[in-house]
Amino acid sequence: MKRLTLVLIALLGFDAAVWAQSRAYPPLTEYMMEAEAEVALAKSAAPDNISERATVKILTASGYKVAVQGDSGFVCMVLRGWNGAPEPKLVYDSKLRAPLCFDPVASRTVGPMTGRRGTNL
């Protein structure tokens, strides 16, 4: 039984590795959004009393850039699949969008790491 389990794990791991190597990211242009739409989607991740004073970052050809400078320490942005999709095949989905707002502590600690998975924050 233990041997069968190990064989199954090895086969599943091999299959996932082969599948991941055979995939390629779509062109960056497919991940882009209109700036106003991306700002609105990013702000939708938090209540108005937070998002109206938050810094909003949007994806550009050279990485995440500040579109709206806030003064509260919160940072809102729209994540894409490469930022940690829950399933490997979703990493390549250019239509996957996940609005997220970081509180002041997370914007200094987790936020920079999140933006660097594929682009610079």
- pLDDT for residue 11: 47
Closest residue by Cα to residue 53 from 36, 70, 32, 41? 70
Task: Give the pLDDT confidence of 65-100 residue by residue, as tens digits.
Answer: 999 999 999 999 998 887 767 777 788 888 889 999
- pLDDT, greater one: 70 or 15: 70
* Cβ atoms of residues 96 and 80 within 8 Å: yes
